[in-house]
Amino acid sequence: MEEYEPKISYPEALFAGALLFLLPDLIEIAMAFLFGDSWFLTDLFAFPGEQLYLYLKGVKGVYALIGNVLELIPFLGDLPLRTITFIITVWVDHHPKISEKTEMLGRVVKS
């Protein structure tokens, strides 16, 4: 039986996650403390880069997309949702059985 090879390795997830997901969240938290809100500035720059990265890696970025949409909600977007959903995306990438079950659940919900 062929062994599954994840599309995002853990070292790559640490490096890319720190630059593309954690850094914008930290900037957003700092802006929330300093100015009260980030005015969607980090979302404007981080969202396309994150989705492009996941697309180029061949990973379904559904969880990261959900996190980015939740970032647009005022005050809720100040939480590190972007980083949390990236961690979920990497975890699902490394556990394909979970991915199969969520896709099956999605098909059941649609019908």
What domain count does the chain have? 1
Structure tokens belonging to residue 25? 């969240």
Per-residue pLDDT of 18-63, as tens digits, reads 999 999 999 988 988 888 777 788 888 899 999 999 999 999 888 9
Domain range enclosing 77 = 10-110
In a domain, 14, yes or no: yes
In a domain, 21, yes or no: yes
Residue 110 above 90 pLDDT?
Answer: no
In a domain, 57, yes or no: yes
CB 66 within 8 A of CB 84: no
Residue 108 above 90 pLDDT?
Answer: no
In a domain, 42, yes or no: yes
In a domain, 68, yes or no: yes
In a domain, 2, yes or no: no
Residue 1 above 70 pLDDT?
Answer: no
In a domain, 4, yes or no: no
Residues listed for the chain: 111
In a domain, 58, yes or no: yes
What pTM does this model have?
A: 0.87
Residue 89 above 70 pLDDT?
Answer: yes
